[in-house]
Amino acid sequence: MTTHQEELLPATRRALLHRIAVAQSEGRTPSLVAAVVRGGHTVWHGARTSVDGHGPDENVQYRIGSITKTFTAVLVLRLRDEGLLDLGDPLEKHLPGTGAGEATIAELLAHSGGLAAESPAPWWERTPGSLRPELADVLGEQPLLHPVGRRHHYSNPGYTLLGALVEKLRGAQWEDVLRREVLEPLGLDRTTGRPRAPYAGGWAVHPWADVMLAEPAEDLGRMAPAGQLWSTTGDLARFAVFLARGDDRVLSAETVREMRAPAAAAEAADVLDGAAYGLGLQIQCWDGRLLVGHSGSLPGFLANLTISVEDDVAAVVLTNCTSGPLPARVGADLVRIVAEAEPRIPEPWRPLPEVDASVLELAGQWYWGTHAFALRLTADGGVSLEPLSGNGRRSRFRVNADGTWTGLEGYYAGESLRAVRRPDGAVSHLELGSFVFTRQPYDEGAPVPGGVDPEGWRGIA
C-alpha cells in the first residue's frame, strides 16, 4: 500500500509520532511500529526502536496473536454466505464428535459457546503444537465451563474448533484456505503462518531492570486459527480497509457490517468498560468513540487493530515485547488524534436521483400515541424513523421488493414497517410490528389499538 504522509498536517504527524514515542519509551519495548489509515489508504507510518538506525518499516513482520481470530471468522462467514452452513447450526451438524458440538457456530464466533478460555496445560502459547495433535488435546476432558449461549467467555479453543470446521468443509488446511480465499485476494502477501524476513524477534523485558530475554516462537499446530499469524502494519492497514468497507472478492460490505455488530451479551465489567464482541471482532468505546477491531498477544509480541468506521480512520500498532505499552490504548489514541485534529469532511449534500411519489407522501410527522416521530427518506432508498424529542426508539429501514421496509438497528431491527392505505388510496396509518403510527395523536380515523375515546380531547371539567 502506498503511503500518503503528506495528506496529514505536520502538527498531526508530530502528535502521532509523539504518542508512539511515549508508548515505546514508557512501555519499555524494543520496538513499536504503527500506521494510520484514512479514506481507504495509509496516511501515516511511524516507528520507534531501541536500536539506532534500525527502525522497522511497514514490511517488517510481527506476530499478531489473536488478530488471527478475525481472519478465521472471515473464513467462516464466507462459508455462511455460500450457503454451506448457517450461523445458527450447532457445531455437531458439521463437525461431529468434539464434545462441544452443542454450541452454535455464531456462539463460537462470539465467544459465548461456554468453552474454557485456554487449552489444558502446558500453556499452549509457549509450547509446540505437536503436544496437542488432536482436537481432544485442545479441548480437554471437560471443554464446557459455562452453559452454552449464556455468557461471553473468551475462548481460544473455540477458534480452534472454527478452524477445524473450515478445514472440514473446504477439504484443505486452514492456512492454505486462508491464503487462497483472503490473503491473496486482498494483497496481504506479508501475512503468513511462519515468519518471513524481515521480521522482529520477540522479547520479554525484565519488570525491574532494563534487560531482555528472548521468547520462543512456537508453531501452534491445532491452535493456529486462534493466534498463529505474523503480519505487518502495511498488510493490517489493508485488512482494516476491508473490515470497514468489505470487498466482494472476500466478503460483502453487508457481511463485514454484520461482523462489527455486537453478537454476545457483555459481562457487567465489560458494560462498564464499554466493551462488547461481534463475530470475530472486539467492540469498544474509548473516549466516547465506537471502535471495532481486535487485539493480540503472544509471548514476545503485542498487537492491535483499531477502526472507527464513523470517522473513517483506523490504526495498527505492533510491538515485540511480552508486556509493555497497551496497544489498544495507543491505537485508540492514534485514531482520536487524527479524528479530532482533522475531522472527516462530509460528502456534499445532493438531492435524491429519483423519488417514488407514494413514498414521498409518507415523509413528515407521525404519532405513536402521543409520541411525535419524523419519517425521512434516506439516500440509499430506505427511510428513517426517529423521535422529534427525547431519546426514543429510532431506526433506519431498508426497502423490500413488496414495498415494505425492514428495520436495520435498535429496537426495530428486523421488524417490518408498512404503509396501510384506505380503499381510495389515501394513507391511513403506518404499521410497525404491532404499533400503529398516525398523522394525528390517537387519530380516530385510524385503527388505534384499544380504540379512541368518543368524547375526544378535553380539558379538566
> Per CATH, the architecture of 5-341 is what?
3-Layer(aba) Sandwich (3.40)
Indicate the domain borders of the chain.
5-341, 357-437
Residue 203 near residue 211 (C-beta atoms within 8 A): no
pLDDT of 272 higher than 70: no
> Are the CB atoms for 71 and 229 separated by under 8 Å?
yes
Q: Would you state the pLDDT for residue 37?
A: 98
> Could you tell me how far CA 88 lies from the centroid of its own chain?
19
Report the chain's mean pLDDT, rounded to a whole number. Answer: 94
What local confidence, expressed as pLDDT, does residue 111 receive? 96
Residues 58, 190: Cα–Cα separation, whole Å: 10
Highest mean pLDDT among 259-263, 336-340, 379-383 belongs to 336-340
pLDDT at position 270: 66
Q: For residue 424, give the 3-state DSSP assignment.
A: coil
pLDDT of residue 6 exceeding 60, the answer is: no
Amino acid 137: pLDDT: 94
pLDDT band at 52 (very low <50, low <70, confident <90, very high): confident
Q: pLDDT tier at 271 (50, 70, 90 boundaries)?
A: low
C-alpha cell at 265: 451479551
pLDDT score of 410: 87
Beta bridge partners of 321: 203
From the list 177, 157, 155, 180, the residue with the least C-alpha distance to 167 is: 177
What's the whole-number mean pLDDT along residues 330-342? 97
DSSP string, 8-23: S-HHHHHHHHHHHHHH
Residue 282 grid cell: 472486539
pLDDT at 303: 98
Is the pLDDT at 310 greater than 90? The verdict is: yes
pLDDT at 313 over 60: yes
Asked if pLDDT for residue 347 goes beyond 90, the answer is no
Helix/strand/coil (H, E, C) string of 62-110? Answer: EECCCHHHHHHHHHHHHHHHCCCCCCCCEHHHHCCCCCCCCCEHHHHHC
Model pTM score: 0.90
82-103, pLDDT tens digit by residue?
Answer: 999 999 999 999 999 999 999 9
- How confident is residue 231, by pLDDT bands cut at 50, 70 and 90? very high
Q: Sorting pLDDT into bands at 50, 70 and 90, what band is 7?
A: confident
